[in-house]
Amino acid sequence: MAISKSKTRENIPEILQRDNPILRQISKEVPVEKITSDEIQSVIADMKAALLREGDGVGIAAPQIGVSLRIFVVAHEAVAMASGDRDLDSKSLALKKEARPEDDLVFINPVITKKSKETEFFEEGCLSVRYAYGKIKRHKKVTLVAYDETGKKTTRGASGLLAEIFQHEVDHLNGTLFIDNAKDIQEIPPESLTDSSL
């Protein structure tokens, strides 16, 4: 396992940027019996902390903190939005951050088992491709099978924003960045940002 040595004073890993070769690797599966180990739980804690630090992030994959394992985390606020529990859209997600990383959802060894025939273009950004945004075609609905951080196997259907996040994060685990397939990519300076990054 390759863990990033670059950490801040708070001991939170830095998020790797687009030119780092780790982001282009196909991540390895986590042995199910190791999910509850201190090593894997530490990786998950680092991912949650790194995601919390980024005010506009809705999801993060392990390779983004230098760990080539098939794990991603979705911010609990994004799940609430996708479930219709909040009157927010992705453009106002930067206002969302509450310090409740224990509620973030963890997906280990995720596999998308179903995809809708219907697709649509989503506007995306990425914490590893800072300040670049573009339109990318995604399936409107997907079904994901994965293990949670306790080692329990789960199946979750998703549509809209959550389906978009699932597809974006699984791409990370396969060494793909959204800019590989996006159209109309624009660089937007940080001072004018209001959108969220996956």
Active-site residue list? 169
Provide the token pair at 111.
């596999």
Nearest by Cα to 12 from 45, 39, 37, 56: 45
Task: Decide: 1 and 112 in contact? Cβ < 8 Å.
Answer: no
Task: For the beta carbon of residue 95, count every other beta carbon within 10 angstroms.
Answer: 11
Per DSSP, the three-state class of 174 is coil
Q: How far apart are the first and last CA of the chain?
A: 23
Per DSSP, the three-state class of 43 is helix
Task: Decide: 81 and 93 in contact? Cβ < 8 Å.
Answer: yes
Provide the token pair at 19.
């030119």
